Structure 1
Amino acid sequence: MLLEPSRSFFHVTTEQAWLLTVAAFVVGLVAGTFLTGWVNRLCETPPRQKETITTVLLTATLFALATFVIIVLEGQHVNEVVPDVGWRYGRWIAHLGLLALLIVATATDLREYVIPDQITLPGIVLGVLLATAAGDTQLMHFWVDWNHPLVELQGPEIPTWLKQHPHWHGVVWSLAGAATGAGVTWLARGISSAVLGQEAMGLGDVTLMALIGSVLGWQAVLFVFLFAPFCGIFVGLAAKAILNRPYVPYGPYLSVAAVIVM
């Protein structure tokens, strides 16, 4: 945990970090109310009262939990990727924004089995623009060199062009993440359709993974794809208990896996 400003990745004290966590919970309550209204406008099926309460509380809880992990525990701090101080908060805010979009996508998918493009496509554009403007909000660099002679002592070498052109690097890693997320999902969709004779995933799942990849990067989105089937067990049980749904689409599995990887 944080001990003093000089040792903090975010240059805040422990008390300030906890205040940010509480503030994130309050902001999450407000954001959850807004997101509930957005979901209702996107869906033709009227909401259940339990769904509305769940969306608001889930948003607040995830905002606070993400803030606790990112800022209090410094869970995203790695020596190889050190953004400027301002953009460390930019990455935190970007990930809260991704959480909000994942919540809306999950809610619409659970209610009407669809993930509208109004959620994912603007999110992809914003993800790429933020990565371009910041240059170093990624969780991992697009590429590093493990072949140099001092890798065991100094770790992987960061290519020179990444250091000299951080904004171009931002474009590359974000677009690579979007392409990887969409590509692996599209491939899995095609294979499952050929084997099963019916679509196991929709196009909304493809664009959702592109959104996740544009914010988290190509390495992280591969882990999301791998973790998603295991998340299905917990998502299925939760959906059965809260919504009494016998069938759960694949989108919520991807969203939960993205939260875990984040």
Structure 2
Amino acid sequence: MSVLQAINDFGVLSFPVWLWAVMGGMATGVLTFIGVRRSLKDFGLPFDRWPLISSIANGLLGAALVVCVLGFQSQSTPEVIPSEAGRNLRLIGHLALVVLLMMISVTDLRTYSILDWNCKLGILLGTGLAFLSGDTQLAHLWVDWNQEVPQLRGPYLPEWLSAHPHLHGLVWSVVGVLTGGILAWGTRSISARLLGQPALGSGDILLMGMIGAFLGWQPTLIAYVLAPVLALVIGLIIQVTSNRPAIPYGPFLALGAVVVLIAWRSIWMLEIPLTLAENPGRGSIFAMRRFFGDPVSMAITAGLSMGLLIFMLALLRYYKSLSFVDEKSE
């Protein structure tokens, strides 16, 4: 029996949703406990309560993800229709990602550092599963919903995607790795120039690459955009309720990825009217799925976002310089 056949035969196993949730939650919790202990050991830190707490939390998260995906079809979209084996293997891969994200978040919270091997292991697992299965993507490498004609034809998909599924799996995963890594590297480089120190560490670059290996470039981009919003809200609460001087950014990148995993269908099918008209036309509605099929809009948005980032970092640097002057004058 070939490796590909064995993987597909395993993925096609059918169980009730509740049993999948129990098995997924238990496996996620146990692997999290083992992984967190190993990661803390690599830093020479005591285990204390972190492995147990993180394993319980991640076990519940894993079970919730299974229920959302299998029970509520939270990752189902019109253009991505995996086989039963592909859907199950994708879910198993995402549970593995959740384990790795928790391992990374715990060590980042404890040490402000991310172990390279955690991320590199995830990149190998993500790209390997995508290639061997050929049916685990959340979104195809390229899909253009702008060419859809309702009730006549669907979105445009390059023919080679279905003709060469394993090649497609490898390519979308590798492009996801590059997208996540380049986004984090670009932010790190710009902040280093404007602030004199990088806003992200080298571990965050690997973390985003790992997320991209499992999610692909479109979900990874969305997760990266969600992270600062989550950091602003949750970070502010933590700063107010605790004496922690600084909060690492890695856990928020991980949380952004988890939000995408759980709510992918709602995010991808999101439509926002741009007018107050009762029945707005297609051109007056922002649709997330159409945005990712328009290179011009993506380029303009990327440019504006980068400009806004530079502006915000410049303001922060100016504020810090004023604070330094005030301290010297006192």
TM-score bracket relative to the smaller structure: 0.7 to 0.9
The match for 1:115 is 114
SS at match of 2:246: coil
Q: Deviations over 1:176-223 (max 9, x none)?
A: 100000001100111111111111100100010000001100000100
The match for 1:184 is 183
Contact 1:109 1:251 in 2 (8 A): yes
- TM-score by length of structure 1 reads 0.87
Q: Determine whether 1:17 maps to 2:17.
A: yes
Q: Deviations over 1:103-150 (max 9, x none)?
A: 0111111111111111001211121111111112110000124464x5
- Return the letter of the residue paired with 1:135: G
How far residue 90 of structure 1 moved from its aligned partner, in angstroms, is 0.2
Q: Determine whether 1:29 maps to 2:29.
A: yes
The match for 2:247 is 248
How far residue 35 of structure 1 moved from its aligned partner, in angstroms, is 2.3
Contact 1:145 1:159 in 2 (8 A): no
CA distance in structure 1 between the aligned counterparts of 2:74 and 2:225, rounded to whole angstroms: 21
SS at match of 1:152: coil
| Identical counterparts, % of pairs | 38
SS at match of 2:126: helix
Contact 1:151 1:157 in 2 (8 A): no
Contact 2:104 2:115 in 1 (8 A): yes
SS at match of 1:151: coil
CA distance in structure 2 between the aligned counterparts of 1:239 and 1:30, rounded to whole angstroms: 28
Q: Determine whether 1:197 maps to 2:196.
A: yes
The 5-angstrom pairing of residues 37-116 of structure 1 reads 37-49=37-49, 51-116=50-115
- TM-score by length of structure 2 reads 0.70
Q: Which moved more, 1:230-239 or 1:60-69?
A: 230-239
How far residue 230 of structure 1 moved from its aligned partner, in angstroms, is 1.0
CA distance in structure 1 between the aligned counterparts of 2:51 and 2:132, rounded to whole angstroms: 35
- Return the letter of the residue paired with 1:229: P
Contact 1:81 1:136 in 2 (8 A): no
CA distance in structure 2 between the aligned counterparts of 1:175 and 1:245, rounded to whole angstroms: 37
SS at match of 1:215: helix
Contact 2:219 2:260 in 1 (8 A): yes
Q: Structure 2: give runs of 5+ residues left out of the alignment.
A: 1-11, 262-330
C-alpha RMSD of the superposition = 2.3
The 5-angstrom pairing of residues 82-231 of structure 1 reads 82-146=81-145, 148=147, 151-153=149-151, 154-231=153-230
- Return the letter of the residue paired with 1:81: V
Contact 2:133 2:166 in 1 (8 A): yes
The match for 1:7 is none
Contact 2:181 2:208 in 1 (8 A): yes
How far residue 243 of structure 1 moved from its aligned partner, in angstroms, is 8.5
Q: Structure 1: give runs of 5+ residues left out of the alignment.
A: 1-9
- Return the letter of the residue paired with 2:125: L
How far residue 11 of structure 1 moved from its aligned partner, in angstroms, is 9.6
How far residue 72 of structure 1 moved from its aligned partner, in angstroms, is 1.0
SS at match of 1:142: coil
Matched residues, number: 249
CA distance in structure 1 between the aligned counterparts of 2:53 and 2:91, rounded to whole angstroms: 23
